[in-house]
Amino acid sequence: MRFIDLRSDTVTMPTDKMREAMCKAVVGDDVYGDDPTVKKLEEYSAQIVGKEDALFVPSGTFGNQLALFTHCKRGDEVILGDDCHIVAHEVGAASVIAGVNLRTLNSDKGVLDPLEIKSKIRKEDIHYPRTGLICVENAHSNGRVISIKNMKEVYEIGKEANIPIHLDGARVFNAAKYLDVDVKEITKYSDSVMFCLSKGLCAPVGSILAGSKEFIEKARKGRKLMGGGLRQAGFLAAAGIVSLEEMIERLKEDHENAIYLADELSKIDDINVYKDDVHINIVFFDISKIEHNPRQIAEKFYEKGIKVNPPEDGLMRFVTNYWVSKRDIDYVVDTFKDIIKK
């Protein structure tokens, strides 16, 4: 049975071309620097985001935490939004791996106030930790895209205080498509950037951490320490190359499908769709006005061949991706109407 999976864009399966590339990949021991396919992916990734060098890592969380581990000293403080992925969905790893404090700021749907950031940078004082890093996220995991103006303002504050900026760019190519700019127009306002290959780009495994040559050289040793020194990783990197070559341009289709999904859901009584927040491929909507059992509603969808995450406090999230068509969306909406009716 084929399922329509709206839980996330991490559920995407590799395309036939990716599977063929993986099968034919020339590989070697990447810890020794012997894997030509990994090298090709890293060089291509650095070029795309306008950085000197890049490193293939197992996951987005791994890449973010490696960035913190590489930029910071133990006991440093990291300034970032209170609703960003590093804070909300990375298992408190910053305290375990990098040994840093997270100084969270109020986030306006992912947007950080540059003046508040500036006010929170620690002065030199025997009582204070050192501010070691500022982190931003674009696109934000709430589905909104942060303006280049805001990115630039935060970056300039970091430069003025000699504090590096790390960009959690898990969906940075989605952000670039929404803003209709080359991705470099976003990444140039960061010292390091992590982006995922295994979300909307459909690669089965992996993310990229990019930055200066000095930063990546240090991060490579940190990757080994964290258990990310893979061996014949070219099998995985081969799919990543295809994802960058072929899947970035089509992300607009996912965005268009998300808008269509939001429009159709909003026609259902008592559902409040956050249509203004649909910048990329993520649709949030409130069903708290509908009498429902959170676990049961996900089970009913599953019975109809649709995988969704159950609502949390009345809020649901659907994520469009390469394997979800407009016809699938029509079926999902009709199924939702039927579930509510019953």
* pLDDT tens sequence across 6-39: 999 999 999 999 999 999 999 999 999 999 999 9
**Does pLDDT of 1 surpass 80?**
no
Domain end point (choices 246, 267, 296): 246
**Does pLDDT of 159 surpass 90?**
yes
For the full predicted model, state whether its pTM sits above 0.75.
yes
What pLDDT digit, counting tens, does each position of 66-120 carry?
A: 999 999 999 999 999 999 999 999 999 999 999 999 999 999 999 999 999 999 9
Number of domain units in the chain: 2
Structure confidence at residue 225 (pLDDT): 98
* Measured distance CA(206)–CA(190) in Å, rounded: 21
* Measured distance CA(92)–CA(85) in Å, rounded: 11
**Residue 142 pLDDT grade (very low, low, confident, very high; cuts 50, 70, 90):** very high
Judge whether 17 and 23 are in contact, CB under 8 Å. Answer: no
CA distances for 13 relative to 27, 303, 321, angstroms = 22, 21, 10
Structure confidence at residue 279 (pLDDT): 98
CA distances for 308 relative to 4, 63, 133, 284, angstroms = 9, 27, 36, 12
Judge whether 284 and 309 are in contact, CB under 8 Å. Answer: no
In a domain, 8, yes or no: no
What pLDDT digit, counting tens, does each position of 194-233 carry?
A: 999 999 999 999 999 999 999 999 999 999 999 999 999 9
Residue 30 shares a structural domain with residue 162:
yes
Residue 311 shares a structural domain with residue 229:
no
Range of the domain at 70: 14-246
Structure confidence at residue 174 (pLDDT): 98
**Residue 169 pLDDT grade (very low, low, confident, very high; cuts 50, 70, 90):** very high
Residue 258 shares a structural domain with residue 148:
no
How are strands ordered across the β-sheet holding 315-319? Answer: 272-273, 282-286, 315-319
* Amino acid present at 79: I
Residue 155 shares a structural domain with residue 259:
no
Close Cβ partners of 329 (under 8 Å, ≥ 6 residues apart): 257, 260, 261, 264, 320
Residue 178 shares a structural domain with residue 321:
no
Structure confidence at residue 342 (pLDDT): 78
**Residue 341 pLDDT grade (very low, low, confident, very high; cuts 50, 70, 90):** confident
What is the pLDDT of the chain when averaged over all its residues? 97
| CATH at residue 319 | 3.90.1150.10
Phi then psi for 174, rounded to 5 degrees? Answer: -65, -45
Residue 118 shares a structural domain with residue 49:
yes
* Two structure tokens written together for 22: 């993986």
Structure confidence at residue 294 (pLDDT): 79
Structure confidence at residue 295 (pLDDT): 83
Residue 119 shares a structural domain with residue 216:
yes
Residue 229 shares a structural domain with residue 297:
no
Q: Which residue has the higher pLDDT, 340 or 206?
A: 206
Element (H, E) at 330: helix 326-341
